[in-house]
Each structure stands twice: as structure tokens, then as C-alpha cells.
Chain A
Amino acid sequence: MSTAWCRWALAFFFTSALAAGAAPGEASTTGARAAEMEAGLATKREVYLVVGVTPATLAIRVRGVTLEELPIASVAAHEWRRLSEPSEVEPLVLPRVLVTAATISLVDRKVVAPDTLKPWSDEAETGRPATGDEARPAPPASYDVPLEGGWILEIRQEGPSHSATRRFLAAMADGWARVAGRGHGERRTAIRFVMEEAAAVRLHHLFKKGTAILLVPDLGFRER
């Protein structure tokens, strides 16, 4: 059996184990490792995210306390590679801590700049200041977050499409681009969180350089 087949068989076996999960109260390898990883994050002052894969759940935490849970539809991992070649990426083994490699760009802000200033006097009329009710523009709902290790976290409203037809057509288009010398498709190894727009917008500002994301099979790991 080829290495690729072995890898997929292994992946299938472990995915089945993931789906089955451990019964509450039962100690598990994953539970112990996830708890150990979270203990490392909770001792710091920074906010971190804990993301369960099955069921898909996202918790914003600090010092081990859940501040908020945001709805998330699914978590998927995917890579851009040739159809004819085996994957060079190992299956994503949980639990795992992902770290944001860079702060994603802040939303543009307005600059208020009066041309001239009137001299102040006791009779000066003050009202609502020029910057007083100017809310910042909403961040995007669909964006990429670079992660340490070269991975990319994609925040999207739809999961990646892996149907045979779509993949074949995408590979053809990429192949044609190579033949025509127009560069290659977007190369990436990514984790995708699929969530509603409102949740994606809410999450945007938390992705600063160094923000940790603990990816676990499910959020019940502290109990087992």
C-alpha cells in the first residue's frame, strides 16, 4: 500500500475516533493534552480562542473563563495541490494551538482635520464634537488570517467545495494558467471557519499578532 493510502487509512481511523468521542467523565489522551495546552494559554493575560470541531463551537476565553461563545457552522482544513500527487501535508492532529502570525489590517479610519481654529473665549459655543458620533466602519465578514507555520485561517460564510467536478475544473483552469504563463492558482494550506457574517465581524478585531487558537475535538475536554 502506498504512503498516501496508509495516511488516508490512518486519517479515516482517527476521524472515526473523533466522531465517536470519549464519554463524559472518561479520561482521554486528547482531553489531557487539550487541558495542558489551555493551561499554558490561561496563565497569560491575553484573550484566546478555543474552537471545537464536532460540534463546531467557538469560545472567546481569558484566564480559563469563557467570555462569549460565537456560533460557527463548521471547521475544515484544505490544501491547494495537484490532483495526481499525494498530499505532502499531514492530517491536522488535534488538539493543536495555532498562533496568529500578524495583526490583520485594521479598518480604515476617518481623520478629522479642522482647517483653522477660532480663538477660545468664555462665550464660545460648544456642541457635539466633530468626532463625537462617528462610528468606525464595520470590518469585513470574509477574511484571511496568517498563522505561524505557513497556514492560513480563512473566515468565510461557506465551506470549501470539494466535489469532483469542481476540483477537476479548478485543476484544469490552474493547468491552463500554467500553460499560458499566467502564473499559478492561489497556493495555500488553510483552515476554514464557516460562520455567519455577524459572528465573523465580531471576531475580526481579536486576530492580533500572537493571538492563540486552541483547536480541539470538542469543548468538553476539561471534564475528561
Chain B
Amino acid sequence: MSGIPAMTTEPPSRAASRGKTLKRVGLIGGIVLVVLAAGAVALAMTGEADTPIAIVSEDGDATADLRRVHRRATSRIESVAPRGVWLAVDTIGGKLRVYRGRELLREAACSAGSGVSLRDPRNGRVWTFRTPTGERTVIRKVRNPVWTKPDWAFIEEGYEPPPIGARDRRDDFSLGDYALYLGDGYMIHGTVFQTLVGRPVTHGCIRLRDEDLEYVYRMVPMGARVLLY
């Protein structure tokens, strides 16, 4: 039997049908894509997004009046700068700076309030060890200061406080060699915990290392401004 070669091509009707199907699929896909794109654009038009705002400067040459305003304003700024020696204390950054006018004389590491709270188990009273911010003045300078320990100093060590005026409340070593009083019980003083200076770990006072404390004691006069921020 002579062999008849097998058919390798589809009949024309099947090929045409497949072509139609492909076209249909392509058309539907295209429509779907267009619908999706239109939907995306519609959604984007309805929704909101982050858009830059211009930062502009109303610049130009100043008039004579404005030049006068500028001179007056800059001299006002100059005039309000503290005179003499004053202190600025960064209570979070742990830096105490000594200035004379605008000149920075010395920068020292310091410790300020920890922000920790202590609760008295007897009556629920709470102390929060925070350094107050704002402007104060040096109201007293003392060499070899003695600290009269308040109730919290005993409670945080787990003891009942002794009676007011008791000899046990006197502490003549914790404050170091010098203390500068800022009012309301707050001081700039030394510490026996020298390695902790720079971290916010105090009960509200400002602690300095011995050499910085001596410098501050000698340089800063009574009545000097102390800015705590």
C-alpha cells in the first residue's frame, strides 16, 4: 500500500476559527486593560496625594524705611543678649555652657533630671525628678555645701525618713566641693558618681564633674542668669 502523507496543516475552517478566537481574546484583553487604566485614572483623580508647596521669599531691595527697620531690629537683638557671665544648660543633651556675653567660655558635660518618678508607699505621694526649664539666677554660692536630705532621699533607698531636723538628714559629701543655688531647692553641684555625668540621672539638680564645677564656681557671679532648656 503506497503511503499517503499525513495531513500536517489544519483545515482552513479550523485555522480561521482559531484566528477569530485569538482576535476575540485580544479584543477582550484590550478592553479589560483600557477599563483598568480608566479605572486607575478615575481613582487617582478622586484620590489625594502628596504635593509640594513652594517655599518662596519676598525678596527685593529694601526701601530706606526697611533699612531703618533692619538697623533698629538688629540693635534690639544685640541689646537683649545677656551681659556678663551667664550659663546655658541643655538638660537633655547634658551640656552646660558658660558664656560671657555672646562669647562661649567653656562647655562641660552635665547631668540633669532623670524624669523618673518615685511613689511614697505610705501615702501615695509622687515626686518626679525633672529639671525645670526657663530662666533662673544664681542666688547663693556655697563652698563645702551641706545637703539637708528631703524625705524622697530616704524613701528611694527603702527607708522611712527620720524626723525633720534630725542629724541623719545632714549630708556633707554628696554635693561635692561647691554648690550654686538656683532657687526652689535646685542647685548646680558636684557628685560622687562622676562617671554618670553627662546622662540625665539626677533628681532635678545639675551635676558637674569636679574640675568643671570649680571653674563654674569661680567664674559665675551671684545674680548670673542661668538658662535651663
Residues in A lying within 8 Å of B, measured CB to CB: 8, 10-12, 14-15, 17-18, 21-22, 26-33, 35-36, 38-39, 42-43, 45-47, 53, 60, 62-65, 67-68, 75-84, 87, 89, 91-95, 106-107, 109-120, 122, 124, 126-136, 160-162, 166-168, 170-179, 184-185, 187, 189, 202, 204-206, 208, 217, 222, 224
A217 with B77, Cβ < 8 A, contacts A120-B161, A162-B51, A167-B49 known: no
Q: Say whether B49 contacts A217, CB under 8 Å.
A: no
Q: How far is the CA of A78 from the CA of B141 in the complex (A)?
A: 52
Would you call B90 an interface residue if the criterion is a C-beta within 8 Å of the partner chain's C-beta atoms? Answer: yes
Would you call B203 an interface residue if the criterion is a C-beta within 8 Å of the partner chain's C-beta atoms? Answer: yes
Residues in B lying within 8 Å of A, measured CB to CB: 40, 42-62, 66-67, 69-70, 72-74, 76-78, 80-82, 88, 90-93, 97, 99, 102, 114-119, 121-122, 126, 128-129, 133-135, 153-162, 168, 193, 196, 199-201, 203, 227, 229
Contacts of B72 in A (CB 8 A): 39
How close is B86's CB to chain A, nearest CB, in angstroms? 9
Contacts of A130 in B (CB 8 A): 118, 156-158
Q: Is the interface of B mostly helix, strand, loop or mixed?
A: mixed
Selected contact of A94 from candidates B56, B61, B153, CB within 8 Å? B56
Q: Say whether B115 contacts A136, CB under 8 Å.
A: yes
CB-CB nearest in chain A for B75: A39
Q: Say whether A82 contacts B48, CB under 8 Å.
A: yes
A32 with B70, Cβ < 8 A, contacts A22-B59, A120-B162 known: yes
A133 with B51, Cβ < 8 A, contacts A39-B76, A112-B119 known: no
CB-CB nearest in chain B for A68: B90
Q: How far is the CA of A95 from the CA of B114 in the complex (A)?
A: 37
Selected contact of B156 from candidates A11, A21, A112, A204, CB within 8 Å? A112
Beyond contacts A47-B229, A91-B54: 12 other A-B pairs, Cβ-Cβ < 8 A, are A26-B61, A36-B70, A42-B77, A112-B117, A118-B159, A133-B196, A133-B199, A136-B114, A160-B52, A162-B51, A175-B45, A205-B91
